[in-house]
Chain A
Amino acid sequence: MMRLRLWRRDLVCQQAVELVTDYLEGTLSRSDRHRYEAHMAGCPHCTEYLAQMRKTIELTGTLTPDDLTPQMQDDFIDLYRQWRADRSEGGLQP
């Protein structure tokens, strides 16, 4: 992300889009957060942009894994049974 120095003036959109992640992560300083929120209050495009970033994160978070192929599932079951066999064998040793 571009390291933009924030002067004591209003943010512009190009700066605001670089602060989205810091804002969502809660790592902005209090004064930067206020400046960010003040910009949002007056800028519908950046508000839409923030909503899109939130939606992007949400969509990524709801991806569900593809199921394992039967072959892969069998391989993993073999691996597990091997471990279980080794383990009970080991357990019998003094």
Chain B
Amino acid sequence: MDSGTDAQLLTALRAGDERAFVTLVRRHHDAMLRLASSFVPNVAVAEEVVQDTWVGVLRGIDGFEGRSSFRTWLFRILVNRARTVGARERRTIAVGDTGAVSGTEAAVAASRFDGGGSWASPPESWIEEVEDRLEAGKLADFLRTAIDDLPDRQRQVVTLRDIEGLSSEEVCSVLEISESNQRVLLHRGRSRLRQAIETGFGRPS
């Protein structure tokens, strides 16, 4: 049952198969929790948002016609609820929390380049290190922490694109952001993750 597609699991859960439901919940739980956490003040509230989202999914399941992917639909419900709850919990919404992405954030610190823009302190090697010598569980924990440390909006985009595997169009639709903002946030988020891995495991090449 763990290997069915979302569509197969949906069919099964409509027919009353509770294992199909649990499989679906398990499959998306981390990403949902991580995404919800970026809108609300703490994990307890995020867990409520996730549960509430599944209630909404079950209630709406007969109206879901599969025109969008299930994941897009699921994450839109989640984001709507998380935004509503987040606004209520915080009372005020942080200024600049929505809308255009602004400011500059270098993928690599300017201090690592010389005056002409060439590498002065080139990327340290880590690919071989993490592939061959690092215990997989340790790397996964490290990466999860690094993702949790990303600024909220970068974490949202990285979670949907790179963990859940949504397309850029789907991410824009779920988060209601433009293609160019999506790309900027993705770029900054991925660049920070690369830097975190280099800082953690890099060795001068």
Closest B residue to A52 by CB, please name it: B194
Interface centre among A2, A3, A17, A20 (most CB of B within 10 A): A17
Q: Are B117 and A63 in contact (CB under 8 A)?
A: no
Chain B residues lying within 8 Å of A77, measured Cβ to Cβ, are 18, 21-22
B176 at the interface (CB under 8 A from A): no
Chain A residues lying within 8 Å of B106, measured Cβ to Cβ, are 2, 18
Contact of A79 among B58, B119, B123, B144 (CB under 8 A): B58
Contact of B113 among A14, A59, A84 (CB under 8 A): A14
Chain A residues lying within 8 Å of B118, measured Cβ to Cβ, are 12-14
Q: Are B163 and A63 in contact (CB under 8 A)?
A: yes
Q: Are B163 and A61 in contact (CB under 8 A)?
A: yes
Q: Are A63 and B144 in contact (CB under 8 A)?
A: yes
Instruction: Give the secondary structure class of B's interface.
Output: helix
Closest B residue to A46 by CB, please name it: B119
B198 at the interface (CB under 8 A from A): yes
Instruction: Give the secondary structure class of A's interface.
Output: helix
Closest A residue to B105 by CB, please name it: A1
Chain A residues lying within 8 Å of B197, measured Cβ to Cβ, are 52, 56, 59
Q: Are A22 and B183 in contact (CB under 8 A)?
A: yes
Chain B residues lying within 8 Å of A45, measured Cβ to Cβ, are 119, 122-123
Q: How far is the CB of B141 from chain A (nearest CB, A)?
A: 10
Q: Are B123 and A61 in contact (CB under 8 A)?
A: no
B193 at the interface (CB under 8 A from A): yes
Q: Are B107 and A52 in contact (CB under 8 A)?
A: no
A34 at the interface (CB under 8 A from B): no
Residues of B near any A CB (own CB < 8 A):
13, 16, 18, 21-22, 25-31, 47, 51, 54-55, 58-59, 104-108, 110, 113, 116-119, 122-123, 125-127, 130, 139-140, 143-144, 147, 158, 162-163, 165, 168, 183-184, 186-188, 190-191, 193-194, 197-198, 205
27 A-B pairs with CB atoms under 8 Å apart are: A1-B191, A12-B113, A12-B118, A14-B113, A17-B108, A21-B186, A25-B183, A48-B122, A49-B108, A55-B130, A57-B190, A60-B163, A60-B193, A61-B162, A61-B165, A63-B140, A63-B143, A64-B140, A66-B29, A66-B30, A68-B22, A68-B26, A73-B22, A77-B18, A77-B22, A80-B22, A83-B58
Residues of A near any B CB (own CB < 8 A):
1-3, 12-15, 17-18, 20-22, 25, 27, 45-46, 48-49, 51-53, 55-57, 59-61, 63-68, 72-73, 75-77, 79-81, 83-84
